[in-house]
Structure 1
């Protein structure tokens, strides 16, 4: 599933291709992901233009010249694709056509993505009960969020109500870089470990953005290039193991990331 870094790339892509162009038509090829009636999307967006965008964790919030914002969630396989003078991309679900005859397609192969309308970013965040975007957190805020949490640290990092944007892949990476076992109870982490985790959270997400999510381009010391049961740990002689934590497939190195008893 696209996580915070991938949403950053989608934001940059939309800003570079699709702003300040009047929307002349919207084709709904699949309506299953619409979180409001189709007519409401037409009323809110047709005749208006996209004017800017914001990242909110795993959501892309798009401002318009109208009185609503469009919010995209990409599910497991979603993306946006800008095109001209060609057939719509495969698995296009909604197509926005502009006055210059160019198009922006919301593409979602597995149909798990969702499109929302909201009054604004803050309105949407409150309605969805989302935490603050992970990269916008300050250290003090991060430490406060971990306070009194009793579940696994992996579960806390991936809880979108606590902080928005971190999913399976990058939570595993952050914990690996800190040598913290993913099942570790959050309350057992020392303040030093929590502060280290905050720094690694920032650095992992920023590295992912810089590398545009291309796993082969990540540093050799990153777990992301070794997310396979039995693969060699890039930092020791251990073997990568897969387990379930908070219902999620989780990869870690048992030699580097000792489980606290």
Structure 2
């Protein structure tokens, strides 16, 4: 599933291709992912321009000259495709036609994404009880978020109500880099461990953005290329183990990430 680094790429893609172009018309080859009637999207967007693109965790918000926000959630397989003079991209759900004959299509093969209209990004965040974007958190605010949490640290990292943008893959990587077992109770982490986790959270997300989400290009010391039961740990002689944490398949090294006794 696209997580915060991938949404950064979608944001930059929209900035590079689709801002300040008048929307001529919209088409909905499959309106099943729309969270409002298609007519409302047409009324809100037709004749307007995209002013800005903003990341909010796993969501991409695009502001318009008319004041409305178009917001995408990408599910497992959602993506954006900017094109002209070619056939409709496969699995297109929504196509935005610009006045220069270019188009922006939202595609989603597994139909797990969603497309919203909102009065503002802030109101959307409040209505959906989303935490702040993980890369926008200060260390002080991050530590405060963890203060009263009693669940597993992996579950807290992935809780979009606590902080937005971290999913299954990157939470595993952060915990691996911080040498923290994914089942550790959050309230049992020391201050130094929490500070280390904040540092690794930022470094993992920032590195993933720099590598444009191409996981085979990540550092050799990263767990991400070893997410398989029994795989060699990239940092020690241990073997990667798979368990379930918060209902998700979780990969870690028992040698590097010691479990509490």
Under a length normalisation based on structure 1, what TM-score does the superposition of the two structures give?
Answer: 0.99
**Aligned runs of 1:30-179 on 2, under 5 Å?**
30-179=30-179
The match for 2:227 is: 227
State the shift of 1:250 in Å: 0.6
Deviations 1:122-165 (A, max 9, x none): 01100110000000000000000000100000000000000000
Could you tell me how far 1:249 is from its partner in structure 2?
0.8
Unpaired runs of 5+ in structure 2?
A: none
| Matching of residues 203-214 of structure 1 within 5 Å | 203-214=203-214
Q: What SS class does the counterpart of residue 32 from structure 2 fall into? A: coil
CA distance in 1, matches of 2:136, 2:31: 33
> In the TM superposition, what whole-angstrom CA distance separates every residue of 1:84-113 from its partner, at most 9, and x where no partner exists?
100011111110011011100001000110
Residue of structure 1 equivalent to 2:243: 243
Instruction: Determine the C-alpha separation between the residues in 2 that align with 1:48 and 1:55.
Output: 21
In 1, the alpha carbon distance for the partners of 2:255 and 2:74 equals: 35
Q: Distance in 1 between matches of 2:34 and 2:256?
A: 44
Deviation at 1:234, TM superposition (A): 0.2
Partners of 2:17 and 2:176 lie apart in 1 by 37
1:11 and 2:15 are equivalent in the alignment: no
Distance 2:77 2:66 in 1: 29
> C-alpha distance in 2, partners of 1:91/1:223?
32
Give the whole-Å Cα distance in 2 for the aligned partners of 1:92 and 1:227: 31
Q: Distance in 1 between matches of 2:229 and 2:23?
A: 47
Instruction: Tell me, in whole angstroms, the C-alpha distance in 2 between the residues paired with 1:83 and 1:240.
Output: 42
Cα distance, 1:31 vs structure 2: 1.1
Structure 1 runs not aligned, ≥5 long: none
Q: Find the aligned partners of 1:46 and 1:32 in 2 and give their Cα distance.
A: 20
- TM (normalized to structure 2)? 0.99
Q: CA RMSD in A?
A: 0.6
Tell me, in whole angstroms, the C-alpha distance in 1 between the residues paired with 2:141 and 2:67: 31
Q: Distance in 2 between matches of 1:86 and 1:220?
A: 39
What SS is found at the alignment partner of 1:224? Answer: helix
* 2-structure distance, mates of 1:89, 1:241: 39
